[in-house]
Amino acid sequence: MSELPSTWTLPHTARSVSTARRLAQAAVAGWGMNDDAADSVLLVVSELVTNAVEHALPPLTLHLGRPDEDGTMTIAVTDGGPATETGAWISTCTPDEHGRGTSIIDFIATNHGTTTNTNTNTTTHWATLPTT
């Protein structure tokens, strides 16, 4: 198994979505994950990072938990909590072009949720996925 880092702080920009996918792709390849599981990881990473960029304040941190013995892993994105304004991308979309992220994560993840840390004023959105 690879010893690649599994936590990255990313700029709070739309470009971070593709950066996060590349980082996640390198990590799951290093962990030897099968293609179907890897595709699910990349999709959930994209959804969580996109939501952080569009709906939350900086900072933006991506964490990939190493696959566990039970055949699952956790993906977490931490941000600075809800934004007060609509993100640049979503303000240009029609309603049928956005709003499916949670449904996608519901379908793919075995569990997901949100935790808020009032000491650091951050919010973490996480999802647990099967790796086999």
CATH number, domain at 53?
A: 3.30.565.10
- Count of alpha carbons within 13 Å of 70, Cβ hemisphere only? 7
The boundaries of the domain holding residue 85 are: 7-130
Q: State the pLDDT confidence band at 83, using cuts at 50, 70 and 90.
A: confident
Averaged pLDDT for residues 74-95 = 74
Assess whether pLDDT exceeds 60 at residue 127.
yes
- The answer to whether residue 18 is domain-embedded is yes
What is the per-residue pLDDT across 5-51, written as a single tens digit (0 to 9) for each? 599 999 999 899 999 999 999 999 999 999 999 999 999 999 999 99
The more confident residue out of 20 and 100 is 20
75 Cβ partners below 8 Å, 6+ apart?
Answer: 24, 41, 44, 45, 48, 62, 63, 64, 65, 126, 127, 129
Does the residue 59 lie in any domain? yes
Q: What pLDDT digit, counting tens, does each position of 104-115 carry?
A: 899 999 999 999
- H/E element holding 94? none
Is 89 among the domain residues?
Answer: yes
**pLDDT score recorded for residue 84:** 79
Q: Is residue 1 part of a domain?
A: no
So what's the pLDDT on residue 23?
96
Q: How many domains does the chain have?
A: 1
